[in-house]
Amino acid sequence: MPRTVVAYVHGIDAMNRFIGRVAMYGIFALIGVLLWSSVSKTFFTPTLWTLETAQFVMVAYYVLGGPYSIQLGSNVRMDLFYSEWSPKKKAAVDAFTIFFLIFYLCVLFYGAVSSTAYSLGYFGTEPFSFFGQLFLAFVTDGPSGATEVMGHLETSPSAWRPHVWPVKVILCFGVTLMLLQCTAEFCRDIARLRGEEL
């Protein structure tokens, strides 16, 4: 394999390994929020923020840990015949089926970007051009220029009413990391078919 491909695979693996290991500790934040929720409901006045905070932490934990899960091969797969195949046959099937995952992730990424644009007050049909305008306004006029481009920020319909754009940005970031890991896995499968190991 070319050195640039090897460097790409190792770079993506290192980045997702670091982010995945940091995201693993999100489970302790989730436990803390749910523990406080139980304690406050039992002994004090129930808090409004615990349920949605737990949901937001779970989204970050799941989405940012997904690429690391793919890297480790711990994602769920139908293992009816797969375990009996040779490494080259597994690599061939993985190199083909990963395109279905990439297609799904591209659709998910477009939906996440559209939803993020909506949460920042954009109601049109071109979310990528909105983010281009937002970036240009931020570069030329600073935060005040970006604020002028954004509309009314979306909030949750709950009683707590937090802004939802942070969790949607995390979703976009996590799906991007997943797409990068999928391309790295594709390169790794092609290397296995060629008799090399990355």
pLDDT tens, position by position, 157-177: 888 899 999 999 999 999 999
CA 89 to CA 73: how far, in whole Å? Answer: 16
CA 98 to CA 106: how far, in whole Å? Answer: 12
CA 117 to CA 140: how far, in whole Å? Answer: 20
* Residue type at position 136: L
Nearest to 97 by CA among 177, 176, 178, 182: 182
The CA-to-CA distance between both ends of the chain, in Å, stands at: 9
Domain presence at residue 35: yes
Predicted local confidence at residue 16, as pLDDT: 96
Predicted local confidence at residue 73, as pLDDT: 84
Predicted local confidence at residue 198, as pLDDT: 82
Per the structure, the complete domain to which residue 35 belongs is given by 3-77+84-193
Please state whether 46 falls in left (phi above 0), alpha (psi between -120 and 50) or beta: beta
Q: Number of folded domains in the chain?
A: 1
Domain presence at residue 148: yes
Domain presence at residue 173: yes
Predicted local confidence at residue 182, as pLDDT: 96
CA 120 to CA 107: how far, in whole Å? Answer: 20
Domain presence at residue 198: no
Enumerate residue ranges in the chain where pLDDT < 50. none
Beta-carbon contacts of 57 under 8 Å, excluding residues fewer than 6 positions away, are: 26, 29, 30, 33
Domain presence at residue 25: yes
Q: What is the pLDDT of residues 56-84, one digit of tens each?
A: 999 999 999 999 999 998 877 777 788 88
> How many beta carbons lie within 10 A of that of residue 11, not counting itself?
12
Domain presence at residue 117: yes
Predicted local confidence at residue 7, as pLDDT: 95
Domain presence at residue 52: yes
Predicted local confidence at residue 48, as pLDDT: 84
Domain presence at residue 112: yes
Q: Residue-wise over 105-126: b if at least 16 C-beta within 10 A, else e? A: beebbeebbbbbbbbbebeeee
